Amino acid sequence: MLGRVNHVAIAVPDMEKGIAAYRDTLGATVSEVQKLPEHGVSVVFVELPNTKVELLEPLGENSPIAAFLEKNPSGGMHHICYEVEDILAARDQLKATGARVLGDGTPKIGAHGKPVLFLHPKDFFGTLIELEQV
């Protein structure tokens, strides 16, 4: 079911500082900031030869990232995203095994313009999992 790692997401309390750390300190290529109001976040992607790192910053008070940063004020790893060929088939297979899909189970369009779903971290050893259809 799982394909390659699409990205690892890191919540940051200050996007500009996060960009500077990856671009200026680590020498990475960083995308432009993208606002995703339907997900309550602003994101940038750090381009790496084999995958990406996504930096997430809250967009508004009701952002799920704001709640994460309240518990982790310095920021930290938020989720890992895996690619899947067919997100609906993956969802159905996971649900059949008892895994919990967050929300109503309907994929939303993510930052790459592709359907995404999130899986409950309690089912995956404390790690929030994002699935993205390729």
Domain borders along the chain are 2-133
Q: Cα angle at 62 between 130 and 10, to 5 degrees?
A: 40
Q: Are 80 and 121 in contact (CB under 8 A)?
A: no
For range 108-124, the mean pLDDT: 96
Say yes or no to pLDDT of 87 above 90.
Answer: yes
Say yes or no to pLDDT of 94 above 90.
Answer: yes
pLDDT in tens, 44-79: 999 999 999 999 999 988 899 999 999 999 999 999
Catalytic, 130? Answer yes
CATH fold, domain 2-133, is 2,3-Dihydroxybiphenyl 1,2-Dioxygenase; domain 1 (3.10.180)
Query: What is the predicted pLDDT for the residue at 62?
Result: 87
The C-alpha torsion from 56 through 57 and 60 to 64, rounded to 10°, is 50
Query: What is the predicted pLDDT for the residue at 110?
Result: 94
Q: What confidence category does residue 86 fall into, taking pLDDT thresholds of 50, 70 and 90?
A: very high
What rounded mean pLDDT belongs to the chain? 96
Q: What percentage of residues in the chain have a pLDDT greater than 70? A: 100
The catalytic residue among 57, 83, 130, 132 is: 130
Query: What is the predicted pLDDT for the residue at 34?
Result: 96
Query: What is the predicted pLDDT for the residue at 123?
Result: 97
Q: What sign has the CA pseudo-torsion 94, 98, 102, 107? A: positive
| β 115-119/76-84 pair status | unpaired
Q: What is the Cα–Cα distance from 111 to 106, expressed in whole angstroms?
A: 16
Q: What is the Cα–Cα distance from 11 to 77, expressed in whole angstroms?
A: 6
Where do we find the tokens 């895994």? 99
